Structure 1
Amino acid sequence: MGGAARPGGSRGGRHVRRYVNVNGGPDRRFKNNARLPVLRYGRLTLRSHSGLNLVWDVSQAPLVHAVANALHQCTAARPPMIHP
């Protein structure tokens, strides 16, 4: 779930309540039971054998696939150089 501000270009549509009952309905005991948007995020993870671990959560999920494909094509075209 996102924070208070919705990122530009993010996709969503559904909402949930901050406090819910066991049956999934809103808990009416709380006066400030705000509706929160459910947003779709994409996750891009880059790892290396040397221990590099980068993780990005992106609010525009379709762009993650485009970036991943571009990186894959880039590494396939020219293998990484390993320096001793």
Structure 2
Amino acid sequence: MKKAQFEDNRAALSAMGRKGAKEAAVTRAQRREEKERTLLEIKLANARLGKETDEGDIQPPDPEVVHALEDELRSREEH
């Protein structure tokens, strides 16, 4: 009888472990996505500032780069 109870508990623990593993995988994916989104937002903010040349002049931001980063950020938010 005790063996049967142990096996039942093992099955329950195994099911809880699978559920925990799935939740952990989802959490890792969400954190990775948040990190990627944050890095993309930083790149976009930096692209909007423009670039400094070797002479110290500030070049205006490249509209194509800014537009591409905005599109990438927008597409990630839609998913």
TM-score (norm 1): 0.28
In terms of fraction of residues, the more helix-rich structure is: 2
In terms of fraction of residues, the more strand-rich structure is: 1
- The structure with higher relative contact order (CA 8 Å, sep 6+) is 1
TM-score (norm 2): 0.30
Larger radius of gyration: 2
